[in-house]
A = this chain, B = another copy of it.
Amino acid sequence: MAMDRDQVLRDAAALLSRKSTATMDEVARAAGIGRATLHRHFAGRDALVRALEDLGIREFEVAFDNARLDEGTAVEALRRLVAEAEPNAELLAFLVTENQLFEGDEVNEGWARLDARVTALFRRGQEEGDIRIDLSPAWLTEALYGLIGSCAWAVMDGRVAAKDFQYMIIELLLGGARRSVEK
């Protein structure tokens, strides 16, 4: 069977986001391939992590494009964004939790660019009056990442149904847990 590079990386992300000290052998097993094959495609652990960063940035660059963050209201764009992010949620969880990586790297740049797009989205929502102004765009961005990661883990552990992924994130992020009188 031909190795699906991206799928291997996704499996690696799912494992490493939960057990970042996992052995290369464990990563290989988690991806269903041999350790030798893993080394053939990724020179070493560093290269693997670098590849995870690259894939993550590329995937979310595409996801953001597909979500058309500039179209419609910010709230609508946010819904599309979460939907587009779902397939790569575990990858995002890994990148967010392991940002030891962003130390003097140029990867920092790619990530900063993504960050800026999300932050700008929230800011636009604030300017249009749809998003609260007492919560900073930077915090809302972090919170979005955190909720996506948390939900991805909850789904992995079976505490949240996969089909509820988008709903749980969007509803909590936008509406909050408190039950409003109206509605």
Interface residues, chain A, with chain B CB atoms under 8 Å away? 17-22, 75, 97-100, 122, 125, 129-136, 138-140, 142-143, 145-147, 149-151, 153-154, 159-160, 164, 168, 171-180, 182
Contacts and interface: CB of A to CB of B under 8 A. Distances in A.
B151 A149 contact: no
A140 B20 contact: no
Contacts of A129: 179
Contacts of A171: 132, 134-135, 176
Contacts of A168: 135-136, 139, 143
A139 B169 CA distance: 9
7 pairs of A and B residues whose beta carbons are closest in the complex: A176-B176, A146-B150, A19-B100, A20-B20, A175-B176, A174-B178, A146-B146
B176 A154 contact: no
Nearest to A175: B176
A154 B130 contact: no
A179 B130 CA distance: 5
Number of copies: 2
Contact of A146 (B132, B149, B159): B149
A179 B146 contact: no
A18 B172 contact: no
A122 B176 CA distance: 13
Contacts of A160: 136, 138-139, 142
18 contacts: A18-B98, A22-B100, A122-B177, A130-B179, A131-B178, A132-B175, A135-B177, A136-B160, A138-B154, A139-B154, A139-B159, A143-B151, A146-B146, A173-B177, A174-B176, A174-B178, A176-B178, A180-B180
Contact of A154 (B21, B98, B142, B164): B142
A96 B153 CA distance: 10
